[in-house]
Amino acid sequence: MTLSETEALELDANDPGHRELFDVPPAQGGDYPEVAYFAGNSLGLRPKATRSELLADLDSWAALGVEGHLDAARPWLPYHELLTGPAARLVGALPSETVVMNTLTVNLHLLMVSFYRPTRSRHRIVIEDSAFPSDSYAVRSQVAFHGYDAEDAVIRLRPRPGENSLRTADVVEQLGGDVALVLLGGVNYLTGELMDIPTITKAGHAAGAIVGWDLAHAAGNVPLALHDWGVDFAAWCSYKYLNSGPGAIAGAFVHERHLGADLPRFEGWWSTDAKTRFEMTPESRPPATADAWQVSNPPIFSMSPVRTSLEIFDKVGIEVLRERSVRLTAYLSELLAGFEVITPADPARRGAQLSLRVPEPGAVSRRLRFEYGVIADSREPDVLRLAPVPLYSTYHDCWRAAAALAAVMA
Ligand SMILES: *Cc1c(COP(=O)(O)O)cnc(C)c1O
């Protein structure tokens, strides 16, 4: 495909996103005032509304002090409940199955306290070999915490030799009777592969395992139906496709069939039912909802950006975003025809991200940034990741990235 700037601009006129809702950083090089931003899979851009909404919450504190817990325009005590409905809609869950709390890896640990219950004959955990390191460290430390050997207990799934992504049938085949937990990324952070979540979940259950999903790269990227798929539990962060800012408060899902069940949980005063919390009883009385997995009272000023961002997803709709995402990613993929793309070519098996095999990706991404104003993400030793984000990326951004990459690689 030839690189035509005019064509890119025409595509943008016919298929606009919602860039006007976001602050796009100025470019530090190149011919255009704004960056072409492809790192929304790492840290999403700031919605313009985030600043004023956060300041309004912050000012409730100035105006009311402790009384803000009940009297703020958005009272702090039930603040997290404002996020539950929108988060549940985004991941295809019931509100009772969903809670926004903590950060991603912390949530994985809290959920594994309940859902990784190893026995001598069934104590293995299945992850991807290319799992994000935090997930790998989390499961290895859980295995060790229960007195097992991580080298033996953690099964790492690898693509077949010469292939870049996992085949569903190969994943299913590895789910033996010794597997206690399957914990995979819904979309792999490195390759951008979208896993077949319903099929693998069903196969894990058939093997007698619990199936949890890390949706860090899936939430806000692809439509999800966690409830209908029967997923046991899931967790995701809010600073990637969910545009809620660095270290933003994360989400967690626990399937309805586990709610109110007699599962081990680590508790604190936010685990107990809000209606009787201030009776200050020595024993907690957890509600039969995902709120029971909360521990502490949550940070209001960190939840405020999550609320603002989820409102955008509610307004636009993840299905509509996904349609634009498929078109935008297909366009970028065509423009990058000369490169080795390790992400699956089938749109049903990928989200918004394309990962390229590129030598010295760190040097390439620095040149893209400072000479062309294109922000990409490098993973040593040889991967460059580009994520056209359907909310704010444009066809013109894709054209800029492809043109800049061609120039840098020449
Ligand atoms: C981004 C990411 C994380 C980051 O973990 P935090 O607890 O949010 O710091 C973990 N796992 C995966 C798969 C990720 O993509």
Is residue 46 in some structural domain?
no
The tokens of 385 are what? 């990741």
**What is the structure's pLDDT at 3?**
80
Look at residues 264, 280, 314 and tell me which one is the last residue of a structural domain. Answer: 314
Ligand 1 atom closest to residue 237's alpha carbon, by position in its atom list: 8
* Shared-domain flag, residues 304 and 323: no
Pocket probe for ligand 1: among 41, 101, 105, 195, the residue whose CB has the most ligand atoms within 8 Å is 105
* Shared-domain flag, residues 159 and 281: yes
Reduce the DSSP state of residue 288 to 3 states and report it.
coil
- The string of DSSP letters for 340-366 reads EE-S-SSGGGB-S-EEEE-SSHHHHHH
Look at residues 314, 332, 363 and tell me which one is the last residue of a structural domain. Answer: 314
* Shared-domain flag, residues 91 and 204: yes
CA torsion through residues 192, 198, 203, 204, sign:
positive
**Phi and psi, residue 21, nearest 5°:** -85, -5
The rounded average pLDDT for each run of 10 residues, N- to C-terminus, in the chain (410 residues) is: 88 98 97 98 98 98 98 97 98 98 98 98 97 97 98 97 97 97 98 98 98 98 98 98 98 98 96 93 96 97 98 98 98 96 97 97 98 97 98 98 95
Beta strand pairing status for 46-47 and 22-23?
Answer: antiparallel
What is the CA(155)–ligand 1 centre distance, in A? 20
Nearest residue (CA) to ligand 1, atom 14: 216
* Shared-domain flag, residues 205 and 299: yes
243 within 8 A of 307, measured Cβ to Cβ: no
What is the CA(215)–ligand 1 centre distance, in A? 9
What is the CA(220)–ligand 1 centre distance, in A? 15
What is the CA(375)–ligand 1 centre distance, in A? 20
CA atoms of 95 and 84, how far apart (whole Å): 6
Reduce the DSSP state of residue 377 to 3 states and report it.
strand
Look at residues 314, 339, 371 and tell me which one is the last residue of a structural domain. Answer: 314
Pocket probe for ligand 1: among 135, 193, 239, 355, the residue whose CB has the most ligand atoms within 8 Å is 135
Number of residues in the chain: 410
Q: Which residues contact 224 (CB under 8 A, 6 or more apart)?
A: 90, 91, 92, 186, 197, 215, 218
User: What CATH number is attached to the domain comprising 105?
Assistant: 3.40.640.10
* Shared-domain flag, residues 220 and 341: no
Nearest residue (CA) to ligand 1, atom 1: 216
What is the CA(103)–ligand 1 centre distance, in A? 8
Nearest residue (CA) to ligand 1, atom 2: 216
Q: Name the domain count of the chain.
A: 2
What is the CA(66)–ligand 1 centre distance, in A? 33
208 within 8 A of 176, measured Cβ to Cβ: no
* Shared-domain flag, residues 388 and 305: no
E strands, 206-345, in order:
210-214, 233-236, 251-254, 340-341
Ligand 1 atom closest to residue 108's alpha carbon, by position in its atom list: 7
User: What is the enclosing helix (H) or strand (E) of 324?
Assistant: helix 318-335
299 within 8 A of 54, measured Cβ to Cβ: no
Ligand 1 atom closest to residue 240's alpha carbon, by position in its atom list: 1
Domain containing 126 equals 55-314
Residue type (1 letter), 288: A
Q: Look at residues 132, 337, 310 and name the one whose alpha carbon lies nearest to residue 214.
A: 132
CA atoms of 274 and 404, how far apart (whole Å): 54
Ligand 1 atom closest to residue 214's alpha carbon, by position in its atom list: 13
CB < 8 Å & 24+ apart, contacts of 8-12: 8/394, 8/395, 8/396, 8/398, 8/399, 9/395, 9/396, 11/331, 11/395, 12/394, 12/395, 12/396
Is residue 49 in some structural domain?
no
Q: Look at residues 254, 253, 286, 251 and name the one whose alpha carbon lies nearest to residue 270.
A: 286
Reduce the DSSP state of residue 378 to 3 states and report it.
strand
The tokens of 361 are what? 């990706």
What is the CA(314)–ligand 1 centre distance, in A? 23
Is residue 369 in some structural domain?
yes
Residues whose beta carbon lies within 6 Å of some atom of ligand 1 = 103-105, 132, 134-135, 185, 189, 214, 216-217, 237
- What pTM did the predictor assign? 0.97
CA atoms of 80 and 89, how far apart (whole Å): 15
**What is the structure's pLDDT at 156?**
98
Nearest residue (CA) to ligand 1, atom 8: 104
Nearest residue (CA) to ligand 1, atom 13: 132
Nearest residue (CA) to ligand 1, atom 15: 216
Tell me, letter by letter, the H, E, C secondary structure of 249-271: CCEEEECHHHCCCCCCCCCCCCC
Percent of the chain that is helix, strand, coil (3-state, to 5): 45, 15, 40
